Structure 1
């Protein structure tokens, strides 16, 4: 049971509200109590370092050879004014945006290890045009200008999480404390790496030459998660120094971050929906029972809940060494390692018939929406399921890189870059299921929170209710590697319109290998032992009208995979078969040429760049069609048989020519207009290309459930996009700006998710219908929209009020693509993950010892997936939602600060629905969080 959708409401936890009230009082009182900071003799080392790295002159150390114009046009008035803290970070981010060669937005850490949000995705949502999705209460993925095909980079180089499901980095994996800033490139230039439709996110780490000398910083954090009712710690440390030696200048920086987090996610689901067919005898009888003969009627075939607590652990290390043997030569070596663990576990309880007809209770009251969709009523003799499960992921990504920059003449710069990435992921899924039959199921889906009641003869808390059981376990692992080499040259001209020419070549060899056992099914005879009473009284904070408590297989046992198998008498683990292996290999050969020009003598000075990037891509994938039958013993127990399989190998190669043009007109010293035109591509990710399809025969205890599986499509083409962008930017103060941007993308071969039904008859004669999730290239898709962004500190206000500031942005994105359904209530769709409207409001206060933020993010409904199981090819949408976060910091001394953070303060509930709002799917509640942070910097 998945999905999300949102409404905002306050919970009933009085202790939590007390904390929120303290936050509000502190924020309100800070304006009145803060004192003016004493004058500074010069910039703090961190601010100076940020100015050096982020003023618009610094470029990523890796593949992105240039990012910005080295000649910023910041007004000269008051150049001796020094800013620190939040003001410094906003000024640095504004300078990057103002002086970049492309349309760029940035987030800069205001201090070492201090991005505005703890989670990278949560920080990115503050940028105009960026929308995020959440998993287990944290931001997990992003879309830029409505498209999820985003490229992620670390210091301008490839970075990814091995999984096959994405060609990029899982944003929830990396501790934000390791980063100095994040740049979001919204349109390409020829020297930026391809493979994105929406934009490139570049994560920047710090280097020892960023600082004038020795630097040290450390932080400790403790966070309370109110739904999980647990607290978890975090800590970070950075040490850096540089020395002048007989062989030149040398610098070393080492940083580490360790985080533990907890979560709990409560979900109420309604699924699936089927419209009764009057030409079918069974459906005709049901219509007669309901008194609906001759009327369109749609009934849900099930409902359920999931209570899923869990925990995350992040451990990241970054070590960099820089050596400058002369003024014309510099080497940078970096080791970056990220180690991430996720564990989710808990209970799910459901009553549903899947595709089998559901029986209404004769004479029971039923209500319907005007379109004939069920709203409330009672059904009889409904199968019930009761699962205790755990899912675990462990991902480790290690990045080794070496960069050399040489200036043999004042006009010529040559950069060589090499990189090796090694990423590994291991997954475990273990599920103990019980089954029985409910006497009645009463549902009411008319409210914001669906309610339902289940009754059985013995009661849901009695083991006698559960007559059958089964066990499912699955192991899989992925390993990805990337070998990259790049050589770039730039020649700068001393005069004339042509300011520089850049050219370069790049080679990348990316490989991924995934091994999967498939789900192993083990039937359990009679009721399972080792059951435990489960109190669901606090489910959904007690706000849900549900069926009461249950018996379920022991969760403490399920948390230990070996103990679970031992309890069930299973001595082995699932076997990795050759047919469970799939591989993907992708090689790219790239060359580019770009010319940078500047026409200052024109009435309106113009600068920009024009270029072309040519990429040859070669892709090869291997996989299997695998069928796993069951063997039924004389006593009725069932075990999986050895699989039968057939190999499926495919290869493809193509060449892409990607021109780009970026223009900037300096209308005044503070007002500039940008225009960009480009073409780019986004390749299918490895999971979308994977040809492996596994069909496992359902056991007796599963036969009435819905059967799903998934596969890729090795014949997918890369998505191609033609783009137009324009941006008008007014920089009226050091930390004050207003920008308006418009964009248009015309996409061909857009990749959609589709559901294909497949009937399979197994060796023992059992036939089952499977909904196979796969992918297809839609013919066309279009995206257009506009962004407005504003930020300012109100320095003109008197006294302490001058510390007030504000950030605000609004994004409008309109898109359209064909639905997989050719008929029905929904045939045209926006793109997946895209909200038409999105805005951020951030109130800032920084004066004296106090720094505070209150941030509200809102997005309207968006498409989760174009087609989902049990929907009759209907899409799933998430409803509009908003979330409020806040923080307040006391800078106790120049070296010590104390921070209180609050996340999800309004207890946002996210909800989804099947195509039309009268068919709800999920309502999801996650934790509110309160964190205390102590940070020291020297």
Structure 2
């Protein structure tokens, strides 16, 4: 018997049947040896000495993919779920992220970032497994990541057309690379030895968004072949993909509600505070009412381009040795353009902190409240603002900002690997794998804002959606708008990793328990450099920021300044006509949101009167740079065992341990406050101590983790098996949380400066007059979150594509990451420093239930029907988000406890399938229950919730021939609206907690249609 046959019989087939070994080379070898097969019989030590015939399954299409995914799950050494593409380019969804949400226990969010709830995502983001965001990404069993400040992979950036399948590991074994506390997602690409010979395949499609009213193309092509040569067998594969997408999102938001009536008004130049309170309370008999600041609405157009290229080469010079190399690169560009109208009397952050919401009823009107004093409807005006005087015939309207924003980001990720497998003896095999992965990400975000005072504003929240009407004649007059401000942000991130691993596997002779043992080591060096600026909001003109235009209020009116750079823009079929808001308004043009053009127009205007105080393009400063280097040294050992008689039923499994040392070096610095600009108002002693001096905050740290694991499987026959798994896992902190830069700030007491201005104090302010010692930074000393986790699963496989399973899981997690305020001493002074720290413990528990079946027992055409369904329940205790607004130091003593972000208690998938003869049809519904999207939204600084959400997708395909298929795919058939709510809200001045959860936002996006043509030979 040849060593090649021995490997297939005794080792590699076992690796394949055990769920694709985490060794990248083992994966490649297993695929190579199983070329042309869709199922491998599980090998045992008793099989050694006789050849195992590999069963060939020719089923393709949806049924073939379901069968292959079920085989992987059934034969895996760990608890996992899988989605496969048996046909080339045929994952069930058009992005990896959308594919993942079909798996039990996996959920995704619909926003570009969870803490930015203003901006929807074109294809979903933020993959979570069992309510945890700490998900590790792999490519063919190797580490892979995106350079966006985190550690994981942005799965939406990966071309789905290049994938052969996606596996989700929920309780790992010792050979899997550490870091996936929530779970590990392995993306599998194809290898040339997957096929028995030459394979040529391709697909083209045209996708259309019915709300964006744009169509975009996509295409993929694969070539694979293998040859017998004079130096052994060689296989080569090339796979290329190109995909574009255009989609639109419409959103309307209600400004945060604020308690009014008990707290003093911020200023009352035109009437007394008592009168203002009476205007709000009227004859309600209430001590306080709750009033929103207004409403915002926005329309965002997305254009996404994704390109992928994969090469693979396999060489088997003899039965003992195989060498391979793989190369994959992915390029992703996302550009979105947004037109928005926002209430602009004060920033949303100011409104959220309960200090500047001054909305009042229009003269002669009263607000309508519900029984609890919550605003229902009313005509709005603002309190007296000085800049009202710049308008003619103004009747105290509401200031709105009309903004045009352009955001473009580019991501490039390249993974190159090479490896080998060599039989030292018939029983001992060595594998080596070497990898280089690099990822780059850059981002430019720029918006320009005009401002107007809208009159006749009436807000009604009594219906399904908010309604806001205004004086449209005033709103469409260009001369009523002025150039107000601009905001820019740039980022440029890069990450690299070099990794190598060596694995040995020894197969035992026939024994009662031991099958084989694996052991090995992995060394990885990873570097990360991030340059990311703050959000550079600066004024262009306003009543409090005058330019040289005294005849018209010293602001820059659109009809006077750059008149060709604004336009009367229509938001079109906003929310498909279901929401009543003004849609024809004046906005900056696309040319004005070109940052280079704005730098030559708006910036000189903004700085002509007070140089250096208006908007100018931002540049990188020392505090914007984050450099980190990380080395991980890991070693593992794992024993695979099996016995068919000792316990009365066949049992197999593995037990092992992984030991990993993590060493981190972080480069950074700090800066003392600079009070030298205060001139004669502060003493020389103050100027000397606080002169903006820099200091170093370079750090180095290391920690070691011991991660044992156990996986058991009891096979009762007739496809029934029971699994038990236990392990320890870690999730290292994201690099953005570990930034070392520490800028400090100090203020001078207003009592001192006021006394100097009034002439009651002659000496300058000294050290004793300084106040508000604060700072904000990352935490290079963060340790990983750690978890002890247990799973048990009962699985019944009662046919090639039929299964029923239930899984119970429990995770005990400690050292959650939480942003808090603590006190640190720098330069002899105590500062309140906002950092992320390891805090709290928590427990996550729940269960999953899944069912899949094709109804072959039905007669005739009915036998083509099938169904897939899964349901997940997740609950948590502890590990709460302790602070609503971590930047509001007044709330430190009175935290608001919230659940874990991203955790839905309930989620399910229901998929109906029909496949018979030439026809294939699929309807898939995905639903998840309400969850905390973020504990502190970047705009409102308030907790924001995503309410229950479900979406229906479908596809239809018809086989023209055995080689050619046409079809139609539809996303968001039901035109589902995403609804957000906000609350609770803590008022730090008196500790009052408003537990009401208010409606915050509604978002609507496209139905997407894709016409698809596939061919393969």
> Which TM-score bucket, shorter chain as reference?
0.7 to 0.9
Q: Deviations over 1:320-363 (max 9, x none)?
A: 11111111111110111000100011211111434213131255
- Compared CA separation, residues 852 and 694, structure 1 to 2 (3 A): farther
Matches of residues 730-741 of structure 1 in structure 2 within 5 Å? 730-741=796-807
| 1:6-47 deviations in Å (ceiling 9; x for gaps) | xxxxxxxxxxxxxxxxxxxxxxxxxxxxxxxxxxxxxxxxxx
Unaligned residue ranges in structure 2 (runs of 5+):
1-12, 32-38, 45-51, 112-120, 267-272, 351-355, 383-397, 542-546, 548-555, 606-615, 679-690, 747-773, 825-831, 885-890, 985-995
Q: Do structure 1's residue 562 and structure 2's residue 596 form an aligned pair?
A: yes
Q: CA separation in 1, counterparts of 2:836 and 2:494?
A: 23
Q: In 2, Cα distance between the equivalents of 1:149 and 1:417?
A: 25
1:804-832 deviations in whole A, cap 9, x for unaligned? 11101111111133232499999443321
Structure 1 counterpart of 2:848, from 778, 784, 787: 787
Note closer, same or farther for the CA distance 1:671–1:175 as it changes in structure 2 (3 Å cut).
same
Q: 1:169 to 1:293 in 2, by over 3 A?
A: same
Deviates more, 1:545-554 or 1:439-448: 439-448
1:343-402 C-alpha deviation (Å, 9 max, x unpaired):
011211111434213131255332334544333333313332111110000111111101
**C-alpha contact 2:455 2:474 (8 A) present in aligned 1:** no
Q: Is the 8 A contact 1:70 1:99 kept in 2?
A: no
Q: Secondary structure at the match of 1:177?
A: helix
Q: CA deviation at 1:410?
A: 2.0
**Structure 2 equivalent of residue 351 of structure 1:** 343
Q: How many residues of Structure 1 are paired with residues of Structure 2 in the alignment? A: 852
Check conservation: 1:306, 1:349, Cα contact below 8 A.
Answer: yes
Cα distance in 2, alignment partners of residues 399 and 788 from structure 1:
36
Change (3 A) 1:52 1:177: farther
CA distance in 1, matches of 2:566, 2:821: 37
Structure with larger Rg: 2
- Asked if 1:749 corresponds to 2:820, the answer is no
Alignment-derived partner of residue 686 in structure 2? none
Mark the CA change 1:217 to 1:825 in structure 2 (over 3 Å): closer, same or farther.
farther
Counterpart of 2:659 in structure 1 is 614
Shift in Å, 1:60? 5.5
Shift of residue 131, structure 1, vs aligned partner: 0.9
The answer to whether the 8 Å contact 1:219/1:935 transfers is yes
947, 953, 969: which one aligns with 1:879: 947
Q: Once the 2 structures are TM-superposed, how far is the Cα of residue 232 of structure 1 from its aligned partner?
A: 0.2
Does the aligned pair in 1 maintain the 2:22–2:177 contact within 8 Å? no
Q: 1:726 to 1:793 in 2, by over 3 A?
A: same
Superposed counterparts of 1:35-434, under 5 Å: 58-59=20-21, 62=24, 71-72=41-42, 82-135=58-111, 136-164=121-149, 166-276=150-260, 278-280=262-264, 286-291=276-281, 295-352=287-344, 353-354=346-347, 355=350, 356-361=356-361, 363-381=364-382, 382-434=398-450
How many Å apart are 1:461 and its aligned residue? 2.0
Please give the per-residue CA displacement for 1:875-898, whole angstroms capped at 9, x wherever unaligned.
211000110111000010111000
Query: What is the CA-CA distance between 1:310 and the residue it aligns to?
Result: 1.9
Q: Secondary structure at the match of 1:459?
A: helix
SS at match of 2:717: coil
**Given the superposition, is the C-alpha separation of residues 505 and 446 from structure 1 closer, same or farther in structure 2, using an over 3 Å criterion?**
farther
* Alpha-carbon separation, structure 2, partners of 1:531 and 1:926: 27
Please say if 1:601 is aligned against 2:645. yes
Rounded Cα–Cα distance in structure 2 between residues aligned with 1:915 and 1:428: 32
Q: Is 1:102–1:189's contact at 8 Å kept on the other side of the alignment?
A: yes
Does the 8 A contact of 1:745 with 1:782 survive in 2?
A: yes
Superposition map of 1:799-878 within 5 A: 799-816=860-877, 817-821=879-883, 827-869=896-938, 874-878=942-946
Question: Is the 1:64–1:157 contact (alpha carbons within 8 Å) kept by the matching residues of 2?
Answer: no
Structure 2 contact 25–420 (Cα < 8 Å) conserved: no
Cα distance in 2, alignment partners of residues 320 and 345 from structure 1? 38
3-state SS, counterpart of residue 802 of structure 1:
helix
Q: Distance in 2 between matches of 1:583 and 1:80?
A: 51
Q: How far 1:294 sits from its partner (Å)?
A: 5.2
* Secondary structure of the structure 1 residue equivalent to 2:703: strand
- Report the secondary structure of 1:555's partner residue: coil
After superposition, the Cα gap between the structure-2 partners of 1:622 and 1:302, relative to the gap in structure 1 and judged at 3 Å, is farther
Are 1:444 and 2:456 matched, yes or no?
no
Cα distance change of structure 1 residues 343 and 79 upon mapping to structure 2, 3 Å threshold: closer
In structure 2, the residue corresponding to 1:818 is in which secondary structure?
coil
Per the alignment, residue 921 of structure 1 pairs with 1000
How far, CA to CA, are the matches of 2:708 and 2:184 in structure 1? 17
1:453 deviates by 3.0
Match of 1:728 in 2: 794
What whole-Å deviation, never above 9, does each CA across 1:738-783 have from its counterpart, x for those lacking one? Answer: 000010111101124569999xxxxxxxxxxxx9996443301211
**2:620 matches 1:552:** no
User: Is the contact made by 2:20 and 2:76 (CA closer than 8 Å) also made in structure 1?
Assistant: no
| Equivalent residue for 1:664, pick from 698, 713, 723 | 713
Structure 1 unaligned spans of 5+: 1-50, 633-641, 698-707, 759-770
Q: Please give the alpha-carbon distance, in whole angstroms, between the structure 2 residues aligned to 1:630 and 1:215.
A: 72
Q: TM-score, normalised by structure 2?
A: 0.79
Is contact 1:72-1:95 (8 Å) kept? no
Cα-Cα RMSD: 3.4
2:540–2:603 Cα contact (<8 Å) kept: no
1:874 deviates by 4.3
Alpha carbons 1:579, 1:645 under 8 Å: kept? no
Contact 1:235 1:259 in 2 (8 A): yes
Cα distance in structure 2, aligned partners of 1:158 and 1:449: 45
1:482 aligns to 2:497 (yes or no):
yes
- Give 1:550 deviation, angstroms: 0.7
Which of 563, 569, 587 is residue 534 of structure 1 equivalent to? Answer: 569
Deviation of 1:71 (Å): 4.7
SS of 1:290's equivalent in the other structure is helix
SS at match of 2:571: coil
2:520 alignment partner, one of 504, 511, 518: 504
- Report how far residue 726 of structure 1 moved: 0.5
- Measured in 2, the distance between the counterparts of 1:408 and 1:877 equals 58
> What is the distance in 1 between the residues matched to 2:534 and 2:522?
38
Question: Secondary structure, in 3 states, of the residue corresponding to 1:782?
Answer: strand
Q: 1:695, 1:314 → 2: CA distance?
A: 41
Q: For the Cα contact (< 8 Å) 1:784–1:814, is it kept in 2?
A: yes
**How many Å apart are 1:656 and its aligned residue?**
0.8
More displaced stretch, 229-238 vs 518-527: 518-527
1:718 equivalent in structure 2: 784
Secondary structure of 2:567's counterpart equals strand
Report the equivalent of 1:701: none
**TM-score with structure 1 length normalisation?**
0.85
Distance in 2 (CA, whole Å) between partners of 1:671 and 1:500 is 25
Cα 1:826–1:443 change in 2 (3 A) is farther
- 2:957 is equivalent to residue 889 of structure 1: yes
Answer yes or no: is 1:435 the counterpart of 2:451.
yes
Contact persistence 1:738–1:789 (CA under 8 A)? yes
Match of 2:857 in 1: 796
Are the structure 2 counterparts of residues 583 and 563 from structure 1 closer, same or farther at C-alpha, using a change threshold of 3 Å? Answer: same
| Structure 1 position 685, deviation (Å) | 0.6
Which one scores higher on RCO, CA 8 angstroms, separation ≥ 6?
A: 1
SS in 2 for 1:358: coil
Per the alignment, in what secondary structure is the counterpart of residue 163 of structure 1?
A: coil
Q: How far apart are 1:869 and its partner, in Å?
A: 4.9
- Which of 829, 834, 838 matches 1:777? 838
